[in-house]
């Protein structure tokens, strides 16, 4: 489900978000997974919906969901395959960050600030 406020769009399925960006008096939006593009509110909503569809394993064999994903991607000027690649890369990067955050640093790094314990 996509939750929408005047300034943000969030999902209970995916960590990606959309946020409103004000500039030159216009109300433009950006997607966290497509940050280089300024979008309309409708395009941002389509991007969030696309991400939710692609994140739902039950949508893999659902032709209606696949057609809707293609429509949402087209609204962003993308092929749905491009969106899959972009979102996959973001997911991999997030997983790698989490993995590195959970790793124990080498002993020399752990005790760097306690020199009396090294050596």
CA distance 87 to 66: 16
Q: How many domains does the chain have?
A: 1
The predicted pLDDT at position 41 comes to 95
The predicted pLDDT at position 98 comes to 86
* Host domain of residue 89: 2-117
10-residue averages of pLDDT along the chain (119 residues) = 96 95 81 95 97 92 95 97 94 88 65 53
Question: What pTM was computed for the model?
Answer: 0.80
The predicted pLDDT at position 111 comes to 54
CA distance 39 to 20: 9
Scan for tokens 């994903």, then name that residue: 69
């Amino acid at each position: 489900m996509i939750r929408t406020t005047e300034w943000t769009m969030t999902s209970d399925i995916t960590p990606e978000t959309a946020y409103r960006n004000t500039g030159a008096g216009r109300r433009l939006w950006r997607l966290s997974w497509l940050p280089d593009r300024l979008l309309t509110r409708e395009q941002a909503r389509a991007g969030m919906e696309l991400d939710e569809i692609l994140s739902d394993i039950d949508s893999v064999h659902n032709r209606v969901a696949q057609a809707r994903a293609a429509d949402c991607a087209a609204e962003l000027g993308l092929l749905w395959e491009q969106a899959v690649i972009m979102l996959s890369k973001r997911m991999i990067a997030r997983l790698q960050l989490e993995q590195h955050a959970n790793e124990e640093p080498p002993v020399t790094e752990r005790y760097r600030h306690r020199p009396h314990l090294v050596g």
